């Protein structure tokens, strides 16, 4: 729940509408570039503190005492993927037990991973050396699917992708939604927007 939330970015005060996001919702955040969509994702993740207003999760205010437990329930797909200087497998599993095969398959990135020198043991740099932009995006999707989050925050997950890769990413998002994961997605993509249940346009500043 967002109530009266605003945040200062540089010399602008971004003001957001009051918002209630129920469990299992699929929401598209739209608006022009620079309107504050990514900033809203960071606010929801507890990475930024509002200038005014309050964000609450499950009836508890999102603050320094609750943020860590909340972020443990989140999946994150940034617009520019970043990776640990670890194996690809560890970048997906983050050291947790789970079904790596199923995550790679759902994100349709199995073939790209097997083509890497070392396959799943290939060491990735911060920018995912050896992966194309679309493949890196799908690896972050595999990470989210593996983690089985309650909420996925995704920033332009289909930007600059060819139609086939875009369809693959959207299908992976559907896998998460089918599990009951809430999707909160910042996007300009009209095809992805049309697949969401609700659209929230961002853009009011003070």
Check residue 127 and give its pLDDT. 66
How many Å apart are CA 166 and CA 147, to the nearest integer?
Answer: 21
Q: Judge whether residue 10 has pLDDT over 90.
A: no
Q: Judge whether residue 129 has pLDDT over 80.
A: no
Check residue 204 and give its pLDDT. 55
Check residue 67 and give its pLDDT. 95
How many Å apart are CA 78 and CA 84, to the nearest integer?
Answer: 14
- Residues 52 and 5: beta-carbon distance below 8 Å: yes
- Residues 88 and 120: beta-carbon distance below 8 Å: yes
The model's pLDDT over 38-76, given as tens digits with 9 standing for 90+, comes to 999 999 999 999 999 999 999 999 999 999 999 999 999
Mean pLDDT of 154-183: 90
* Alpha-carbon dihedral angle through residues 188, 174, 103, 123, given to the nearest 10 degrees: 0
The model's pLDDT over 87-122, given as tens digits with 9 standing for 90+, comes to 999 999 998 988 999 999 888 888 889 999 889 999
Check residue 2 and give its pLDDT. 96
More confident residue, 62 or 166: 62
Q: Judge whether residue 205 has pLDDT over 80.
A: no
Based on C-alpha coordinates, what's the Rg of the chain? 17
Encoding tokens for residue 93?
């599993």
To 5 degrees, how large is the angle CA 176–CA 153–CA 60? 105
């Amino acid at each position: 729940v967002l109530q009266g939330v605003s945040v200062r970015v540089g010399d602008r005060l971004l003001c957001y509408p009051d918002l209630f996001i129920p469990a299992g919702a699929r929401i598209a955040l739209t608006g022009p570039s620079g309107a504050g969509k990514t900033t809203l994702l960071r606010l929801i993740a507890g990475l930024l503190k509002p200038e005014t207003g309050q964000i609450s999760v499950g009836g508890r205010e999102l603050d320094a005492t609750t943020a860590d437990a909340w972020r443990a329930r989140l999946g994150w797909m940034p617009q520019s993927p970043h990776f640990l200087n670890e194996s690809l497998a560890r970048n997906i599993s983050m050291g947790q037990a789970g079904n790596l095969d199923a995550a790679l398959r759902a994100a349709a990135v199995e073939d790209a991973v097997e083509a890497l020198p070392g396959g799943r043991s290939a060491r990735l740099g911060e920018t995912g050396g050896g992966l194309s932009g679309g493949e890196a995006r799908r690896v972050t999707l595999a990470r989210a699917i593996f983690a089985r989050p309650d909420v996925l925050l995704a920033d332009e997950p289909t930007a600059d992708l060819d139609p086939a890769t875009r369809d693959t990413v959207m299908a992976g998002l559907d896998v998460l939604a089918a599990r009951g994961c809430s999707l909160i997605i910042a996007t300009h993509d009209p095809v992805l927007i049309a697949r969401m249940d609700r659209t929230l346009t961002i853009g009011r500043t003070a």
